[in-house]
Amino acid sequence: MKRDDVILVRGGGDLATGTIHRLWSAGLKVLVLEAEHPAAIRRQVSVSEAVYEGGAVVEGMRAALVKTLDEAVVVWHRGDVPVMVDPKGELIPQVRPAALVDAILAKKNLGTTRDMAPLTIALGPGFTAGVDVDLVVETKRGHRLGRIIREGAAIPNTGVPGVIGGYGAERVIHAEKAGVFRNVCAIGDIVSAGETIAEIETPDSIRTPVTTRIAGILRGLLRDGCPVTPGFKVADVDPRREELENCFLISDKARCIAGSVLELIAANLWK
């Protein structure tokens, strides 16, 4: 496989998918590597859903789960995006990508190194430009969102979500105990403050309700049947009830980050 053919993206969550969609829209050949059990909550705009469903469609872009690089070639010929389960990046030496984007958003480096591709880019905190990767893109909402960092690191994770519609921490819901996540509501539902949107089933078959703190639209919800631990992010409520369509569209934040990634890759490939 030619080194100058493929842009490899590690991660297929909603922010990663914004970047994947932008690169795909620019006509680039993208390969996505995902974990065995992705835990995205904005599932309607995450190509990671292909791991469970065999395929996913986000704003006209089709992604398909493949098991081999030969299958990936077939998907590329269709003009689609292949997704492979390879959390450790074991296939990267075979792919020999022109550029690699770490879009796992784990707030720490899970194994990406500069020697994985001629150009390596990481999204968010946990990486140092010039050390772990060549470049870092800021992912924190605010004036610096999307800034390209050539030396140093992104703003450290504060644990406080960005403000949307006047709400920050209140809009994001975390699991209070360990167990299996069971959906009661669906993405796109209008919910009230204090409403039960899901339950956590413990090993002794006791179900604990997962409730909202504010009213709005259920923008993100963890997949039914996923195991969770205390503090695990499971849902996201958008207080702007008029923004229902946004549940199914790539976010402004993801698009901003994606523009910076495309800028860097275009400058490197076509200089």
101 closest CA partner among 15, 204, 26: 15
User: Are 135 and 12 in a shared domain?
Assistant: yes
120 pLDDT tier (thresholds 50, 70, 90): very high
Domain count, the chain: 2
Q: What pLDDT, on the 0 to 100 scale, is given for residue 2?
A: 54
pLDDT(1) > 70: no
113 pLDDT tier (thresholds 50, 70, 90): very high
Average pLDDT over residues 238-260: 91
Domain assignment present for residue 165? The answer is: no
Contact yes or no for 255/22 (Cβ under 8 A): yes
User: Are 258 and 144 in a shared domain?
Assistant: yes
254 pLDDT tier (thresholds 50, 70, 90): very high
User: Are 178 and 56 in a shared domain?
Assistant: no
Domain assignment present for residue 162? The answer is: no
Average pLDDT over residues 72-77: 96
Q: Which helix (H) or strand (E) holds 227?
A: strand 227-228
Domain assignment present for residue 164? The answer is: no
Domain assignment present for residue 166? The answer is: no
Residue 147's domain comprises 6-157+251-270
Residue 118 CA to residue 42 CA, distance in Å, equals 31
Tell me 156's DSSP state: P
User: Are 127 and 224 in a shared domain?
Assistant: no
- Token pair for 2: 């030619």
Contact yes or no for 195/237 (Cβ under 8 A): no
H helix intervals, the chain: 14-25, 50-53, 69-77, 92-95, 252-269
The bridge status of strand 29-34 relative to strand 148-149 is unpaired
- Token pair for 34: 């995902």
Contact yes or no for 86/101 (Cβ under 8 A): no
User: Are 27 and 77 in a shared domain?
Assistant: yes
Taking the whole predicted model, whether its pTM rises above 0.75 is answered as yes
User: Are 69 and 100 in a shared domain?
Assistant: yes
- Token pair for 120: 């390596």
Domain assignment present for residue 185? The answer is: yes
User: Are 69 and 36 in a shared domain?
Assistant: yes
Average pLDDT over residues 83-103: 97
pLDDT in tens, 2-16: 555 899 999 999 999
242 pLDDT tier (thresholds 50, 70, 90): confident
pLDDT(58) > 90: yes
Domain assignment present for residue 244? The answer is: no
pLDDT(165) > 80: no
pLDDT(270) > 80: no
User: Are 39 and 143 in a shared domain?
Assistant: yes
Residue 160 CA to residue 170 CA, distance in Å, equals 10
Residues 6+ apart with CB under 8 A from 133: 102, 112, 113, 114, 120, 121, 122, 127
Facing residues of 221 across strands? 235
Highest mean pLDDT among 35-49, 166-180, 234-248: 35-49
CATH number at residue 182: 2.40.50.100
pLDDT in tens, 205-228: 899 999 999 999 999 999 999 999
| Position with higher pLDDT, 270 vs 236 | 236
